[in-house]
Each structure stands twice: as C-alpha cells, then as structure tokens.
Amino acid sequence: VILADSQLKGKGRLGRTWVSPPGLNIYMSIVLKPLIELTDATLITIMAAVACSIALRKISGLEITIKWPNDLMFQNRKIGGILTELKSELKKIVFVVVGIGINVNSELKDFPEDIRNMATSLRNETKKSFSRTEIIIELLNELNKWYAVLVSNRKIIIDKWKELSSTIGRKVKIISGQETLEGIAEDINEKGILILKLRTGEQKKIVSGDLIVSL
C-alpha cells in the first residue's frame, strides 16, 4: 500500500488530472497479484468499488453509490474514484495497481471552478471533519475482505455491485472514442462489462467509456 499526502500529477481515467491538495483527502495505491484471467481484469475495479462504497458508508453514514465503471458518488456528485492499471504477460496478469482517490475533508472552494458542480466530499455533505487514518483502515479491511471473495465467488461481488450501483436501470449516454451510444444501462455481466440496451432493443456490451446518467 502506498499513501500520499498530496500529488503533483494525480491521475484519473483517460489522462485526466485528479486534484490532490495536501492534508485533506486520501490518495492511495494498492499493488495486487490476483490469480484471475486477464479477461477478468475489470472485476478488480468492480471489487474495489464495492469495498470503497461499503467502507465509506460505514464511516460517514452517507449512501455512497457506484457509477460504472469506477466512480464513487453521492447524489450525482463524485466523491471518489478508482483507477486500475495492470501489467500482463502471455495473457496472464503479473500485477495490478489499484489507485483510489477519496475526497474527505475538501471544501467546495478547494475544487477547481469547472468541477464544483460535479464533485463533493464527505465533509461537504456531512459538515464534519473525518480522520483519514480511520477511513484508510476501514478501506483496507473491506478491500481485504472483498479481494478474498473475488478469488472464491465473484457472483457475490457482482450482486453486491448491482445493489450499490446508481447506474443500473438508468437512461445513460456512453462516449467511447468517436462513438456515442444512448440507452438503458440494463446490467453488468459476470466479467463486470456493462450491458446497454439501445433504443432499437439491441443489447451491446460496453467494456469502457465515459458514462453520463440522464437526470
């Protein structure tokens, strides 16, 4: 486990920047060597999202939900994110780095103006300050628990993810490269891939992309 008090080049998905001021939030990376197939790598992000959502609910009392594929949300605002990167050889996973960023004690003024209507923090929602150490301990406990479940019974993780998800059943737009798709986020399959039901009734498997929920 690697912890940082701040980051000069905090990284989000698709090359974006993760704002990382000192003394306020959680920026952590965990190195894993999972005994799963490379084709199941998405399940690492699914597992981490479940663990983080449960841990944050326990600590804060807020109903933290998961937006596919990797966002931790509270009432349509992003409170945290997960970035999973891996090294593979011969279709086998050598190791995975799970990066987790949680907005803990940031106030709205700490966020850049262009994301203030999209981001939030535990403190902003509860009007209380939190111990980052306490949250990190809870996160690691839940990650340890759900990592063991991932290896033994992934269906439990998929079912829990669906229970905690704010995506399933919603009308969404997905931007993937040059392609934009709209439809209902119907399900995720046993590999954590999103099943999108298009207006034509066709079901399409979405491996990655930017997901926007229609409000």
How does pLDDT run across 82-123, given as a tens digit for each residue? 999 999 988 889 999 999 999 999 888 888 888 888 899 999
CA distance 199 to 211: 16
pLDDT value of residue 215: 66
Name the β-bridge partners of 4: 27
pLDDT value of residue 5: 74
pLDDT value of residue 138: 97
CA distance 210 to 173: 8
